[in-house]
């Protein structure tokens, strides 16, 4: 038993315990509220929808507790059972230790260790989402999604890992600085590439239809200084009844995407308010701010990775033996990636808190642009009702996980 193994076990157990306690606390809090609709929600939600949202939250929460235990077991088995070194040696012996073959080894291993989570994805879509009437996907579409995203991951993953390995070969111990630059540039490129080229592989994105709604949205864009050609409608209804809207890209590559489900469920003034909120994200520079934050985070992670890869201690502790320091770089990447969640879990509340602040700012922007807080408030109420969102999450739970403030918090801020 060495220090690395002990730390791993400790972090693994800690995450399982904390996330389970958070789920249970949230569920108890919800049950305490579920006997009758809280006063502030009575104007817009009937008891049927409210009870349905309670059931939906309970179903998802139970599912995530089971999933957490399952994934921790798998991870424990992968790391402590010597599965990673076995797979690594097995593939490396037949493919070799060259840059491109090691990159392929890396992707093959990630593919294999990702397999156990697939049944959970299936269950979530075809059992839980289906039971609450959200699922619109078919097994065929689900499977083709999986194949497509696997293919895209390979297409992008193999060259990126190869580039990282080149950095190691060329720059020696300072490789992590170049590695950071490579990954960060890749991230920046993806912000543009993802909505332009990857989203259309899965969904149809079309400019909003001619008509009164378009006129209103155009007028709003004009008023707020946002170029209108980038308002798109996405066929989200192909997979799910959930509705949403988001802002992606930056500069002249920016896009606002409204789900067709959102357009179907909402009145024109509500949609206008949602658009105003999304334009707010653009105007207030939220994407560049988040990119800067993730740059700082990536840089510290790479510095850590650089330090860990300067000795064979980490890899040896997790049973990778008989390899040179250069051959150990891929095992270190693998260990870092599979165990990274145990550390990033504790950082996610920081990201969530910043994201929530951005939501408040975008809400304030929207209300100013609309000259009234009523449309956005009713749009948010509609969104929460249609999506069966949990209206009364435990404050600890929502501050840990929620990227958006709760409905109550947003309404309070608007008033
Ligand atoms: Zn937002």
Q: How far is the CA of 285 from the centre of ligand 1 (A)?
A: 12
Sign of CA dihedral 274, 244, 261, 395: negative
In a domain, 265, yes or no: no
How many CB atoms are closer than 10 A to CB 191? 19
Q: Which helix (H) or strand (E) holds 229?
A: none
Q: Give yes or no: 39 in active site.
A: no
In a domain, 224, yes or no: no
Catalytic residue (one of 272, 363, 386, 411): 363
In a domain, 221, yes or no: no
Q: What is the DSSP letter of 210?
A: S
Write down the pLDDT at residue 1.
61
- pLDDT exceeds 70 at position 294: yes
In a domain, 24, yes or no: yes
347-350, Cβ contacts within 8 angstroms, sequence gap of 24 or more: 347/297, 348/400, 348/401, 349/399, 349/400, 349/401
In a domain, 254, yes or no: no
Q: Give yes or no: 68 in active site.
A: no
Q: pLDDT tens for residues 131-147?
A: 999 999 999 999 999 99
In a domain, 209, yes or no: no
Range of the domain at 37: 3-203+284-414
Q: How far is the CA of 5 from the centre of ligand 1 (A)?
A: 41
Report how far Cα 212 is from the mean position of its chain's Cα atoms. 34
Which of 360, 377, 141, 331 is closest to 236 using CA atoms? 141
In a domain, 10, yes or no: yes
Q: pLDDT tens for residues 356-385?
A: 999 999 999 999 999 999 999 999 999 999
Overall number of domains in the chain: 1
Instruction: Give the separation between CA 302 and CA 105, rounded to whole angstroms.
Output: 21
To the nearest whole percent, how much of the chain has pLDDT over 70?
A: 99
Helix (H, G, I), strand (E, B) or coil at 247: strand
Catalytic residue (one of 278, 359, 386, 411): 278
Q: How far is the CA of 333 from the centre of ligand 1 (A)?
A: 34
Average pLDDT, stretch 33-45?
85
Q: pLDDT tens for residues 171-197?
A: 988 999 999 999 999 999 998 899 889
In a domain, 183, yes or no: yes
172 neighbors 166 (Cβ within 8 angstroms):
no
- Whether the full predicted model's pTM is greater than 0.85, yes or no, is yes
Class of residue 206 by CB neighbours under 10 A (exposed 0-12, middle 13-18, buried 19+): exposed
Q: What angle do CA 65, 115, 324 make, to 5 degrees?
A: 110
Q: How far is the CA of 383 from the centre of ligand 1 (A)?
A: 12
Instruction: Give the separation between CA 306 and CA 396, rounded to whole angstroms.
Output: 35
Which of 13, 88, 68 is closest to 318 using CA atoms? 88
């Amino acid at each position: 038993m060495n220090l690395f193994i002990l730390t791993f076990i400790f972090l693994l157990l800690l995450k399982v315990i904390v996330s389970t306690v958070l789920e249970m606390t949230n569920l108890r809090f919800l049950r305490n509220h579920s006997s009758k609709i809280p006063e502030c929600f009575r104007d817009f939600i009937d008891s049927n929808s409210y009870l349905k949202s309670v059931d939906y939250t309970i179903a998802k929460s139970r599912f995530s507790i089971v999933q957490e235990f399952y994934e921790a077991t798998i991870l424990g088995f992968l790391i402590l059972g010597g599965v990673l070194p076995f797979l690594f040696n097995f593939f490396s012996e037949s493919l070799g230790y060259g840059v491109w073959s090691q990159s392929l080894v890396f992707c093959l291993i990630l593919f294999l260790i990702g397999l156990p989570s697939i049944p959970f994805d299936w269950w979530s879509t075809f059992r839980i989402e289906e039971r609450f009437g959200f699922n619109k996907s078919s097994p065929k579409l689900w499977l083709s999604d999986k194949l497509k995203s696997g293919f895209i991951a390979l297409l992008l993953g193999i060259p990126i890992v190869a580039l990282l390995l080149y950095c190691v070969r060329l720059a020696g111990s300072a490789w992590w600085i170049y590695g950071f630059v490579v990954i960060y540039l890749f991230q920046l490129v993806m912000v543009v590439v993802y909505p332009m080229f990857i989203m259309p592989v899965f969904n149809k994105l079309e400019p909003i239809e001619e008509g009164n709604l378009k006129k209103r949205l155009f007028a709003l864009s004009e008023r707020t200084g946002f170029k209108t050609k980038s308002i798109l409608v996405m066929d989200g209804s192909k997979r799910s009844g959930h509705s949403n809207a988001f802002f992606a890209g930056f500069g002249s590559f920016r896009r606002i995407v409204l789900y067709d489900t959102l357009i179907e469920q909402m009145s024109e003034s509500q949609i206008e308010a949602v658009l105003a909120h999304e334009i707010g994200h653009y105007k207030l520079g939220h994407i560049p701010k988040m990119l800067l934050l993730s740059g700082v985070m990536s840089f510290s992670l790479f510095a850590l990775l650089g330090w860990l890869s300067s000795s064979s201690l980490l890899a040896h502790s997790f049973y990778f033996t008989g390899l040179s320091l250069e051959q150990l770089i891929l095992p270190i990447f693998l260990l870092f990636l599979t165990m990274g969640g145990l550390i990033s879990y504790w950082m996610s509340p920081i990201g969530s808190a910043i994201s929530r602040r951005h939501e408040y700012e975008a809400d304030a922007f929207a209300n100013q642009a609309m000259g009234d807080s009523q449309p956005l408030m009713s749009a948010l109420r509609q969104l929460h009702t249609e999506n069966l969102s949990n209206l009364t999450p435990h404050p600890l739970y929502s501050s840990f996980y929620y990227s958006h403030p709760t409905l109550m918090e947003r309404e309070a801020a608007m008033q």
